[in-house]
Structure 1
């Protein structure tokens, strides 16, 4: 990353922190969008609390998606598990087959309103990119490398943990990054089922015809997406630079 890009990202982070912690300081920016003397800054709850709730739901859903998707990726790349590839693909494609709104509609009668249906929707939606990148990363490890590890006396479990997963890590991280970015935007619809998040700000703006609220919710989500995208991208590059590893994005 160039020095200029680093400075810009730093300024974006400072702007993000300043806005979610003290949004009233930016009221003058949004006042032209608030018609009929409506509030310029969202005043129906704490913007910081909603941001943290939004991030919490995305983080938990991504963690669960990562555990299942990586486990399935490992399973189907073992000689004894290759026959489960079609079934695994069918499982991870569920989230892409059914739109999140449909998943929410099905989940609410089962688990009620709140964070749970949003978690389920994001969990299912995040499986595919992580699974496919895990598959790409593990199958991309050269046979010569695996043969050399076997010649060194490593058993199958040791080869997986010490050779295959470390080499595949940059590609797996690329899938996680894509899943997180998708979930950050998708999580806004969770507010339609009473899940706490930045969707509340956007929905409140749409209901009251207050463009200032809509823009605030959208800007916070967009800034989070940019900052997290860059942070995970940096983690990928660091993983790829370590000796003996090769990386690349399959996302």
Structure 2
């Protein structure tokens, strides 16, 4: 009888549990609704700025600004992931262990400079536009990826690697089939942190001519129009929540696979 009751409770709990993709779909739907129907909310923004002549930012469509924002963050994330994970792998090998302190310090150096300072230094060399903000995002987002790659790879138990070696696996096979799968949840957590932070930081690109979701915020600050600021901030927040919830689902799946392995 007790077994039946416990089984019934477990089944009920499983039915109550929300689907894993619920939150990404919810936040993504809210994001798309906001960028497509922003003009329909004019009465709300008119309440925020009753004295403003115009309350809906229209120098560029929010769908266009969202695409530009995703492009900048995506390019920076792709390069940073490749460089950060590769550097973490290299310094955890026997032939690259001497460079571990140097790599850790260089990665930390990127976050000691505020993104605004990086932009100020990059613009004279790279000019105005998208490239300076991509460079700033790469430097600013490198530390979490490098740190978590090191933590993930160094956290793999030596006994597992020794067992894989005893089975005849070569170092490259051990890395691909043992170390990286076990370290993947930790590495993905670093990527998640890096990308989520850079979604907000990318708004600074509007100050150097890189058009994105930061445009309404900067325009609102310059013109004293809080409605513009709210529109840009709201869209960026929904984008960050969408991407962050996607990473959370991926992390859960990786943890489940690691526990089943």
Normalised by the length of structure 2, the TM-score is: 0.89
Partner of 1:174: 189
Partner of 1:90: 105
Verify the 8 A CA contact 2:182 2:258 in the aligned structure 1.
no
Partner of 1:35: 50
- Structure 1 unaligned spans of 5+: 247-251
Q: 1:4 to 1:159 in 2, by over 3 A?
A: closer
Partner of 2:250: 235
Aligned residues: 246
Q: How much is the aligned-residue C-alpha RMSD, in angstroms? A: 1.8
Partner of 1:207: 222
1:162 matches 2:170: no
Structure 1, 172-181 or 79-88: larger mean CA deviation: 79-88
1:50 matches 2:65: yes
Deviations 1:166-196 (A, max 9, x none): 1111100000000011101111111110011
Partner of 2:139: 124
Partner of 1:135: 150
- Please tell me whether Structure 1 or Structure 2 has the larger radius of gyration of its CA atoms: 2
Match of 2:209 among 191, 194, 198: 194
How far apart are residue 13 of structure 1 and its match? 2.4
1:219 matches 2:257: no
Structure 1, 43-52 or 123-132: larger mean CA deviation: 43-52
Distance 2:20 2:151 in 1: 30
Deviations 1:213-244 (A, max 9, x none): 10010011111111111100110110111156
1:151 matches 2:159: no
- Structure 2 unaligned spans of 5+: 1-15
